[in-house]
Amino acid sequence: MSEGHDQPPTVIAAAEPLPPQLQAGASGTPLPSAALAMELVVALDRLARAQRQHRQTTASRLGLTPLQADLLTTLAGGPPPEAVVGELARELGVRQPTLTESATALERKGLVVRRRLASDRRRTWLELTAAGHEVVRDLSQAQEELAAAVAAMPLEQSKTTYVALLGVIKRFVDAGVIEVARTCLTCRYLAQTPDSAGRAGRHCTLLDLALPDQDLRVNCPDHEPAG
């Protein structure tokens, strides 16, 4: 696990193809060359750096480290994961002592509290305070700035990009690069089903939902890894 933030079932999901441009299809669509694959990685890295930088700027303005900011937003978005140190550390890709250190700092700032459940006195649960929820609202606004930039893309391009990125996440999960990913393309409940017009479509067998490109989920609480 990396410490810094510099940050997988009838298993039908396993049959989920990558977007056409990234796979060798029945029509003989070629796989990307090693050079193109490398360019994709470089582009992803550039995006990750830009997001990290943006997050760092926002976190600093709020008197937080990027990890503290991520911990607050993860607590606000969960569960999952359970609000306990081990699960949170796994989710954020850091070591448990690092996570504990951040939680302690947030506690000192009055943004989180630790609680022990009467049913399980051995484990400490983290909870956002009212002030913590307020900071999370500020952090969400910063995310909206990025979403506004992406919203300038044409709809079809946005959908294609979204499915392509989910495909990359699946590849990274398969390669062991990403440990936690609650996306439809990595979920045991994803099924390939034809739509009413007979075109290839996707369906969630758990929630009985059609899943057109734009409705695929990137962080679903009902996700279970495909085997």
Residues near ligand SF4 (CB under 6 A) = 184, 187, 189-190, 204, 206-207, 217, 220, 222-223
Least distance from ligand SF4 to the Cβ atom of residue 78, Å: 15
From 171, 168, 151, 157, select the one nearest 213 (Cα to Cα).
157
Cβ–Cβ under 8 Å, residues 123 and 31:
no
Tell me the closest approach of the beta carbon of residue 158 to ligand SF4, in angstroms: 19
Nearer to ligand SF4, 68 or 183 (CB): 183
Helix (H) or strand (E) holding 152: none
Min. distance of Cβ 77 from ligand SF4 in angstroms? 15
Question: Judged by CB, which is closer to ligand SF4: 128, or 216?
Answer: 216
Let me know if 162 is exposed, middle or buried by CB neighbors in 10 A (0-12, 13-18, 19+): middle
Q: Measured from the CB of residue 211, what is the shortest distance to ligand SF4 in angstroms?
A: 6
Residue 203 beta carbon to ligand SF4: minimum distance, rounded to whole angstroms: 8
Nearer to ligand SF4, 144 or 222 (CB): 222
Is the Cβ of residue 136 or residue 184 nearer to ligand SF4 in the bound state?
184
If the CB atoms of residues 106 and 189 are measured against ligand SF4, the closer one turns out to be 189
Question: End-to-end CA distance of the chain, in Å?
Answer: 22
The set of residues, in sequence order, having a beta carbon less than 8 Å from that of 146 and lying 6+ positions away, is 51, 54
166, containing H or E segment: helix 155-174
Strand arrangement of the beta sheet that strand 200-204 belongs to: 190-194, 200-204, 209-210
